[in-house]
Amino acid sequence: MVNAFVANFKKNFIEMRRYFFDTVSSFIILFIIFYLIFFGYMVASGPNFGDTIDGIIVSYFMWIMFLASFQGVSDWISQEAERGTLEQLFMSPVRFEFQMIFHVISDFCINVLMIVPLMYLAAFTTGRTLNFDLFTLLYLIILGSISAVGVGLILGGIALIFKKISSLIQICTFAFLAILMFEVDALWFELLPMVKATGMMRSMAVTGTKFYQFPVQDHVILWISAALFLLLGIIIFRGFEKRAMVKGTLGQY
């Protein structure tokens, strides 16, 4: 178990180093997209733009964390299927579910180490100061990412059957960008993946609200959203997994 966990960390770091140009290019593209959104809002908002800058910064980088979380599972399954090693993972002494969890954890740690400094850099280059409490920041990112992993499990299950689902992933990507950029005062909207975590992080960035200063209701909604989508993701993934085993498509691409 421990060896499998460490191996996932090593594999991710090795791939980042081996494909260094792609790694650097992805960060540059993230900043280009951020500034396109930033200047687009500047033109649209006019003199009231200063009130929305913090929200844009937080929403955008929470969207990046969402992408990293939900795409990580589906992309990993698709890549293993393309390389012809997916069936080997299912026959490994370490259960496939544990290997997937190890991959998600290693991806999450690397993403936090990369994305949080980028968020501060974006704030610095736009002349803003983000009032982040480290514990509150990690608390919101972890719980928000859990709900995103649930979405990733659903897409990963679909990938087990259909192998290549890049078009569906792109639709989800931009749909959730729109969702995280707006605030809607409705319970059903706040229960969507990452929405409540993003709203609480906006409050933390603007007013310096700490973990214990949020209303109990906010914490309850945050935990319910995380548990709901993770549970839903596990159930749907296992359904697709059984279907793939019955059809014998795990070793096909």
Q: What is the pLDDT of residue 229?
A: 93
**Residue type (1 letter), 118:** L
Q: What is the pLDDT of residue 52?
A: 64
Neighbours of 45 (CB within 10 A): 14
CA pair distance 143, 70, nearest whole angstrom: 13
Long-range contacts of 26-29 (CB under 8 A, 24+ apart): 27/114, 27/118
**HSE of 175 in the Cβ direction (CA atoms, 13 Å)?**
9
Q: Is 229 left (phi over 0), alpha (psi -120 to 50) or beta?
A: alpha
CA pair distance 152, 72, nearest whole angstrom: 7
pLDDT along the chain (253 residues), means of 10: 80 84 85 80 60 71 80 80 78 81 83 80 76 80 88 87 81 82 81 88 79 91 94 91 80 59
Q: What is the pLDDT of residue 228?
A: 95
Neighbours of 29 (CB within 10 A): 10
Asked whether 107 and 152 are in contact (CB, 8 A), the reply is: no
Range list of H helices, 84-209: 86-90, 96-125, 134-162, 166-181, 187-190, 195-207
User: Nearest to residue 210, comparing CAs of 199, 201, 198?
Assistant: 201
Residue with tokens 């409540």: 196
- 167 burial (CB, 10 Å; 0-12 / 13-18 / 19+) is exposed
CA pair distance 43, 31, nearest whole angstrom: 18
Q: What is the pLDDT of residue 3?
A: 80
CA pair distance 204, 201, nearest whole angstrom: 5
Q: What is the pLDDT of residue 232?
A: 94
Asked whether 234 and 147 are in contact (CB, 8 A), the reply is: no
Q: What is the pLDDT of residue 51?
A: 54
Asked whether 78 and 164 are in contact (CB, 8 A), the reply is: yes
